[in-house]
Amino acid sequence: MTRLRLGTLAAAALLAAGLLTVAGCSSESSGSRARMYDSVSSMADDSSLVVTGTVGEQRVADDVADAGSTTLSTVRVVDTAKTDADHPAGSTVVVRQHGTARSSDPGMLLEEGSTYLLYLSPSALDGDLASQYFVTGGAAGVYVGEDGRSDFRRGMDEGDELPDRLTLADALHG
């Protein structure tokens, strides 16, 4: 083979290896992590809403080109630590999470009927999707409610330095 052809083959092999490496690092459940959190207050600062709520219904959507399936959870807001005029207690918010329960690795998906303490950020999508929210920090912004307890346990440890349990009163400064 000529030197040019060998160089082209080597470049193609490196490109393919790089693409496989990037694909292997992606997570269907939480999407891209722009930052790891070292405190509750830093995660709260990056969130537009910090609420407790119960998931009322879920559906799967393929409404963003090349993004794959997304689970949409309608959450009834029970109480708020940080909110805006559109999301007081008693209102609803739609939470977007990459992946579905049928994914091979669904990660930390909200569950219908369960109650959570959630740190939420605007979706920054266009049109009607702009009113929806992502969980701040992927699974970092999900604390799970347990029957008979007033605090919430951390849903999934992704390496952030966050407390294992939080109450709504501690949700901004924990």
Check if the beta carbon of residue 134 is closer than 8 Å to that of residue 70. no
Q: Cα separation of 70 and 67, whole Å?
A: 8
Which pLDDT score, from 0 to 100, does residue 7 have?
A: 44
Q: How far is CA 45 from the centre of its chain?
A: 16
The domain segmentation of the chain, as residue ranges, is 40-170
- Residue 67: predicted pLDDT: 85
E-state strands within the chain: 49-61, 70-82, 92-98, 115-122, 133-135, 142-145, 152-154, 165-166
CATH number of 40-170: 2.40.50
pLDDT at 130: 96
Amino acid at 46: D
Which pLDDT tens digits describe the chain residue by residue (174 residues)?
Answer: 444 444 444 444 433 333 333 333 333 334 446 789 999 999 999 999 999 999 999 999 989 988 889 999 999 999 999 999 999 999 999 999 998 888 766 578 999 999 999 999 999 999 999 999 999 998 999 999 999 899 999 999 989 999 999 999 999 997
Predicted pLDDT of residue 61: 94
d(CA 93, CA 52) in angstroms, rounded, equals 11
pLDDT on residue 101? 86
